[in-house]
């Protein structure tokens, strides 16, 4: 195994952590395990992702039978659909102290995952447990009251335009509602997916699904928020994969950060897009770039990100930034985390930690430090970041999707 400590100093994770700040606010890397695709399976084939400690909310025995979800369902058209879900906080919400769980799934046409055809054949389904995950209700499509099976949400037509869950953490608001961040391809005036001037794989808007518990608290009713729209003149793929958090001490005030892109328009600055809700996610402000607290608007690659409130009650953003204007999705490094100023809604520049970066000894220029999962340690308050180190160095392994597991355990000074 090659670890980051074996690499040159300028390739190590954590070297950009900066100076410690008072009050336990500054993130730093406590521990990590890194494997590189170019080492080959002989070096990392037996490696496994770090076991989530038993004391953690998503550790062994803490998610019941959530991993036993159906792998295929039939949708309202009678079409066979593949089911993708997991027991991570991005797909499973655990209500503290009650035994209630809500698990969501991305349901896609059979064999259409990660394809252009599959983008508009996606749906979000869910199921509920009230006994700590021992049993679950049947997996069912999310639909708003008054809508139909083929038109489950305003602006969504099954088989015409897809809608899909984000990969950021599910959130319960101070009013008890559950927030599921989603994206969808908007329809034009003819009821067809909007066509843009750029030949992009998808063009989307962002929104949230708001779940409200029924009187017996064994199911939820759902409604779709207003959308967050970024025009193609500012982001060629619109607003995608939102991350959402409720601001500390500001009930009903939510922050959303969305993925943008400058694919096919490299002259456009590639940004992360910020929107605010003042009414528990029902409506959203016009989006604007997410910037540093010194007023500088940083570049951000087209990749998912996350917002997590850690055990110190501070709000942290995890994602990718770039020193120069990215080229659509690339480069998907470095992987960084930093504190969000909840008054100005800016990223505190002095708090930004580089968790990991491209290692020129082992990584190609196409390495991806993205698509991560974030876990919260309820005992220590720190974070565990887990990802697969996607690369094209060994094309045979890459074609099979066999990428090494990496993890990083973060704490606070």
Q: Is residue 101, in this structure, part of any structural domain at all?
A: no
For 165, residues 6+ apart whose C-beta sits below 8 A from its C-beta are 90, 91, 104, 106, 124, 180, 181, 182
Q: Is residue 190, in this structure, part of any structural domain at all?
A: yes
pLDDT value, residue 381: 83
Q: Is residue 65, in this structure, part of any structural domain at all?
A: no
Q: Is residue 90, in this structure, part of any structural domain at all?
A: no
Total domains in the fold of the chain: 1
pLDDT value, residue 11: 31
pLDDT value, residue 3: 36
What averages of pLDDT result for each successive group of 10 residues across the chain (413 residues)?
A: 33 34 72 88 67 80 95 97 96 96 97 86 98 98 97 97 94 98 96 94 97 98 99 97 98 99 97 99 99 98 96 95 95 97 98 97 95 88 92 82 89 87
Tokens 């190590």, residue located: 12
pLDDT value, residue 5: 36
Q: Is residue 88, in this structure, part of any structural domain at all?
A: no
Listing DSSP states for 244-307 in one string gives EEEPTT-TT-EEEEEE---TT-TTSPP-EEEEEESSTTSS-PPPEE--BTTS---B--SS--EE
pTM metric for this prediction: 0.93
pLDDT value, residue 51: 72
Q: Is residue 183, in this structure, part of any structural domain at all?
A: yes
Q: Is residue 18, in this structure, part of any structural domain at all?
A: yes
* CATH number of domain containing 259: 2.120.10
**Structural domain for 366, as ranges:** 4-54+159-412
Q: Is residue 60, in this structure, part of any structural domain at all?
A: no
């Amino acid at each position: 195994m090659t670890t980051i400590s074996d690499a040159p100093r300028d390739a190590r994770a954590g070297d950009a952590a900066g100076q410690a700040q008072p009050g336990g606010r500054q993130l730093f890397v406590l521990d990590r395990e890194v494997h590189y695709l170019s080492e080959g399976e002989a070096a990392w084939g037996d490696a496994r992702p770090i076991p989530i400690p038993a004391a953690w909310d998503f550790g062994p025995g803490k998610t019941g039978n959530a991993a036993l979800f159906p792998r295929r369902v039939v949708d309202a058209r009678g079409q066979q659909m593949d089911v993708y879900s997991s027991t991570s906080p991005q797909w499973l919400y655990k209500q503290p102290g009650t035994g209630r769980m809500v698990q969501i799934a991305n349901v896609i046409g059979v064999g259409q995952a990660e394809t252009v055809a599959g983008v508009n054949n996606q749906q979000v389904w869910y199921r509920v447990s009230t006994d700590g995950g021992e049993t679950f209700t049947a997996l069912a499509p999310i639909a708003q009251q008054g809508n139909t099976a083929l038109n489950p949400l305003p602006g969504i037509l099954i088989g015409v335009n897809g809608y899909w869950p984000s990969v950021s953490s599910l959130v319960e608001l101070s009013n008890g509602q559950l927030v599921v961040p989603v994206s969808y391809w908007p329809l034009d005036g003819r009821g067809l997916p909007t066509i843009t001037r750029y030949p992009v794989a998808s063009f989307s808007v962002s929104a949230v699904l708001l779940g409200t518990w029924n009187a017996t608290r064994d199911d939820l009713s759902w409604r779709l928020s207003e959308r967050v729209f970024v025009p193609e003149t500012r982001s060629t793929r619109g607003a995608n994969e939102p991350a959402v958090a409720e601001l500390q001490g500001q009930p009903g005030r939510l922050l959303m950060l969305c993925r943008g892109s400058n694919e096919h328009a490299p002259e456009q600055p590639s940004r992360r897009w910020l929107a605010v809700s003042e009414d528990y996610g029902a409506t959203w402000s016009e989006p604007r770039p997410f910037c540093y607290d010194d007023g500088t608007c940083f570049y951000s690659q087209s990749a998912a990100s996350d917002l997590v409130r850690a055990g110190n009650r501070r709000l942290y953003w995890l994602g990718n930034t770039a020193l120069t204007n990215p080229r659509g999705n690339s480069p998907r490094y470095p992987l960084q985390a930093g504190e969000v100023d909840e008054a100005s809604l800016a990223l505190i520049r002095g708090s930004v930690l580089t968790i990991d970066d491209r290692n020129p000894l082992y990584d190609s220029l196409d390495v991806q430090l993205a698509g991560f999962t974030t876990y919260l340690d309820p005992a220590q308050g720190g974070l565990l970041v887990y990802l697969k180190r996607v690369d094209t160095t060994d094309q045979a392994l890459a074609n099979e999707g066999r990428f090494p597991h990496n993890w990083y355990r973060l704490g606070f000074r």
